[in-house]
Amino acid sequence: VSCRILIVEDNPANQLLAVAVLERDGFEVRIAESGPDALRAIGESRPDLVLMDIQLPEMDGLSLTRILKADPATATIPVVAMSAHAMVTDRDQAIASGCAGFIAKPIDTRVFADQLRGFLQQPAAAESAS
Ligand code: MN
């Protein structure tokens, strides 16, 4: 079963790198460049995981995460935040906003796919246990 990842990222170089790494690993990848773009994409096709850049135009990634977490239709989709500013406060804010995890940019291409797979397994394990 191929997992569908929505990458919310406005930087073209970061988009290309993440897509290349994840497609090589068998993920199905879609890109959104902004918050409104992401909400449209999620409405059309529910992803298994959202990779969320924190610094975005129009609406920042954590505001967008809070919108997704407040809506029962999207609340269970794991959101993993990405930021170049990997300060402890950024990580804390991401978790407080409802993110399942936090990945510092630049991504480590050797472990990136495994990092995301870890976040995908958590909700599946919880469902089978209940
Ligand atoms: Mn950005």
Minimal CA–CA distance to 63: which of 55, 74, 72? Answer: 55
Tokens at 32, concatenated: 């959104």
DSSP H or E segment with residue 31: strand 28-32
Please give the pLDDT value at position 129.
44
Report the separation in Å between the CA atom of 11 and the middle of ligand 1, taken as the mean of its atom positions: 6
Q: How far apart are CA 25 and CA 34, in angstroms?
A: 25
Write out the chain's pLDDT in tens, 130 residues: 679 999 999 999 999 999 999 999 999 999 999 999 999 999 999 999 999 999 999 899 999 999 999 999 999 999 999 998 767 788 899 999 999 999 999 999 999 999 999 999 754 444 444 4
Report the separation in Å between the CA atom of 44 and the middle of ligand 1, taken as the mean of its atom positions: 23
Q: How far apart are CA 36 and CA 46, in angstroms?
A: 15
- How many beta carbons lie within 10 A of that of residue 83, not counting itself? 20
Please give the pLDDT value at position 1.
61
Please give the pLDDT value at position 89.
83
Minimal CA–CA distance to 116: which of 32, 24, 45? Answer: 24
Minimal CA–CA distance to 2: which of 17, 33, 18, 24? Answer: 24
pTM of the model: 0.90
Report the separation in Å between the CA atom of 27 and the middle of ligand 1, taken as the mean of its atom positions: 22
